[in-house]
Structure 1
């Protein structure tokens, strides 16, 4: 005899499958859903009616007839609610408001002159309130918030260490939950960037990819079999601390010759400062823009600096290709803006140093989402959590 609880669980699982099918294959009819999932038409019709009642699905009119009555087509209601994604960076905060399909509604960047946790969290609160007020009217309002952080985030969403911010053991989720609800997700910025590119960018068709985030440091997010690989302690992806030069520059981690001491944005600007005797180049947040403008104008020193950085990137990428044999590598964060200048030396070094059989099917691309990868990936996390419970009721959670 079936237990009622089991029946309710099966119904909930089927409802989730129906909603996911509509999201992925829209527009489609009830009959299309039944054929796709192998469910009977009566069950599908009942579940669709509930999804329409909860305003997650809408009917848009008749489709093509296959001989009988024209079927009514269904669409996922992407405007049923909105989410906020925030990218905490060393010099600023970047945030955006998206609908339930990840379409950007509004975005904003504010400087982070004081990177202390108290000040940064106060700025995050202000960003959330500002973006919430810009959200269009909807049944569910703001369904949740996702935040990407340049550091280690444990299984409980505590920021264990973010050296470039000077943070240790900061419970951002707990500090925000009382004001903005429980659907708040904190993750490493490269993990969020990997998810963003997988869902909305260069990795849409790849089941196995490595997203390389290159800013002040270098981190990575790895998608394996369509799922984010986190490691035993949730700390996977610190590829910036892979040793690529035994006696190389001293790294902030205490080791020498880490990849990020040679191939990061900071490493590039440090070399530029040494070459041009410009002490502000390493700290000036506009330094990369100035360097790229000079390179594109043909400045030989700027071109030489970027060529050197491209070669250093290629060395690290070759290690990753030889070890992981990925389907796709996506280069993201701020240094992706230099893609056209880095690509040739980077790929030449990669191809000359990687094993030919490993490299044969590996593609390398620059982030399609640009500097939005992390914020969009972060915003997708509360959306996924929200839609995982198809029994939600239309009650606003907007701050």
Structure 2
């Protein structure tokens, strides 16, 4: 198949390539941008001038000389606008205001007592309005809102099925765009978390990554060849509903024995457990104090996490596993049993040069990744696939 484009499209693609090169490598000289992109110096200079005029790139310097006049260095203007990243959890709504470079400007959260759509929307709109009001003055203002949700989302931002919320066919993107008149991106929360780790966290420059979001449920963001893998229709990564107990507990998804019933915060609600609290933050505090029931429960969760992670390693052969979400706060107690089970059960060649780590972004990875998706939408992340 031939792929063609007129001169305007070629210019738009080249401009996007230059902008993202500067964004990822600034401060950087025009000559270095030319080397990295393969574009000639005249093209780079002309398009950089346009980007400076649009206030997306600034000049400062001078940089190091290679023998001639010291070059002016190009910087991505991260303060050209702001984005809002949101994570919708089962028991909590969390949101962050970021600049275009992913730096956090403000963070808010509020508890969710019920999951009725009008109630959740009211809370979501309130937290968005508060962040918009606190955003610093900038050339472009609020350029987008990104939302990570615990469920299946299609390419149009429709939440098809979120079993832990009891939602089906919720057109969340359309609702928020109508309310705030800015572009909105909606994705599964694990996909958003994978983007956060890939661009700002523990997975920079990683080509084959599995991001495991372990909190009120479990989901996986899958990066293959440096690209987010979503499957044939966009629903890949619902690994929390992978069966690990054939005749196990019934799950809200309609199946039984699902991984997240044994390795997520859903385990805290078992009335037979003698836990001193019912949230990860509180249980981490008790674990630090050596409370035996808490330590024993974290060990069990770690072992069950290891079982599911082993299945994913044997299936995808990644180079890096990142454990994120609320349970990443419990790394000191989950890490050893998780790695032990993986070492015992993973196929020998699959665990060669494999690294398992916990998120550097902690429980904020999904929010930051959701905000990053909004940034990319604003900057026009143009790609041509042959």
2:377 to 365, 374, 385: 385
The offset of 1:65, in angstroms, is 2.1
1:193 aligns with 2:193: yes
The C-alpha deviation readout for 1:336-360, integer Å capped at 9, x for no partner, is 1111101111111111011111011
Structure 2 distance, partners of 1:349, 1:39, is 49
Structure 2 distance, partners of 1:376, 1:84, is 9
Q: Which residue of 2 aligns with 1:397?
A: none
User: What is the TM-score normalised by the length of structure 2?
Assistant: 0.94
Asked whether the equivalents of residues 301 and 334 of structure 2 are also in contact (C-alpha less than 8 Å), the reply is: yes
Asked whether the equivalents of residues 153 and 186 of structure 2 are also in contact (C-alpha less than 8 Å), the reply is: yes
Q: How does 1:242-261 map to 2 (within 5 A)?
A: 242-261=242-261
Asked whether the equivalents of residues 92 and 110 of structure 2 are also in contact (C-alpha less than 8 Å), the reply is: yes
Q: Which residue of 2 aligns with 1:87?
A: 87
Q: Which residue of 2 aligns with 1:369?
A: 361
Structure 2 distance, partners of 1:95, 1:126, is 11
2:273 to 275, 297, 317: 275
| Greater Rg by CA | 1
Asked whether the equivalents of residues 275 and 293 of structure 2 are also in contact (C-alpha less than 8 Å), the reply is: no
Secondary structure of 1:274's counterpart equals coil
Measured at CA, do residues 132 and 315 of structure 1 come closer, stay the same or move farther in structure 2, by a change above 3 Å? Answer: same
Q: Which residue of 1 aligns with 2:36?
A: 36
The offset of 1:381, in angstroms, is 0.9
Structure 2 distance, partners of 1:217, 1:176, is 24
Q: Which residue of 1 aligns with 2:326?
A: 334
Q: Which residue of 2 aligns with 1:211?
A: 211
Asked whether the equivalents of residues 94 and 375 of structure 1 are also in contact (C-alpha less than 8 Å), the reply is: yes
Count of residues in Structure 1 that have an aligned counterpart in Structure 2: 379
Q: Which residue of 1 aligns with 2:352?
A: 360
- Kindly report the root-mean-square deviation, in angstroms, between the aligned alpha carbons of the 2 structures: 1.8
Query: Which shifted more, 95-104 or 250-259?
Result: 250-259
Structure 2 distance, partners of 1:69, 1:290, is 59
Asked whether the equivalents of residues 30 and 73 of structure 2 are also in contact (C-alpha less than 8 Å), the reply is: yes
Q: Which residue of 2 aligns with 1:111?
A: 111
Asked whether the equivalents of residues 219 and 238 of structure 2 are also in contact (C-alpha less than 8 Å), the reply is: yes
1:347 to 332, 339, 350: 339
Q: Which residue of 2 aligns with 1:322?
A: 314
Secondary structure of 2:360's counterpart equals coil
Structure 2 distance, partners of 1:277, 1:240, is 23
Secondary structure of 2:86's counterpart equals strand
Q: How does 1:9-48 map to 2 (within 5 A)?
A: 9-48=9-48
Structure 1 distance, partners of 2:327, 2:311, is 20
The offset of 1:389, in angstroms, is 7.0
Asked whether the equivalents of residues 144 and 181 of structure 1 are also in contact (C-alpha less than 8 Å), the reply is: no
Q: Which residue of 1 aligns with 2:52?
A: 52
Structure 2 distance, partners of 1:171, 1:185, is 12
Secondary structure of 1:148's counterpart equals strand
Asked whether the equivalents of residues 79 and 99 of structure 1 are also in contact (C-alpha less than 8 Å), the reply is: yes
Q: Which runs of 5+ in 1 are unaligned?
A: 391-399
The offset of 1:182, in angstroms, is 5.0
Structure 1 distance, partners of 2:318, 2:187, is 22
Query: Which shifted more, 94-103 or 171-180?
Result: 171-180
The offset of 1:153, in angstroms, is 0.7
Q: How does 1:70-219 map to 2 (within 5 A)?
A: 70-219=70-219
User: What is the TM-score normalised by the length of structure 1?
Assistant: 0.91
The offset of 1:205, in angstroms, is 2.7
The offset of 1:247, in angstroms, is 2.1
Asked whether the equivalents of residues 148 and 188 of structure 1 are also in contact (C-alpha less than 8 Å), the reply is: yes
Q: Which runs of 5+ in 2 are unaligned?
A: none
Secondary structure of 2:140's counterpart equals coil
The offset of 1:166, in angstroms, is 1.7
Asked whether the equivalents of residues 115 and 165 of structure 1 are also in contact (C-alpha less than 8 Å), the reply is: yes
The C-alpha deviation readout for 1:310-329, integer Å capped at 9, x for no partner, is 11111111111111111111
The offset of 1:130, in angstroms, is 1.0
Asked whether the equivalents of residues 153 and 235 of structure 1 are also in contact (C-alpha less than 8 Å), the reply is: yes
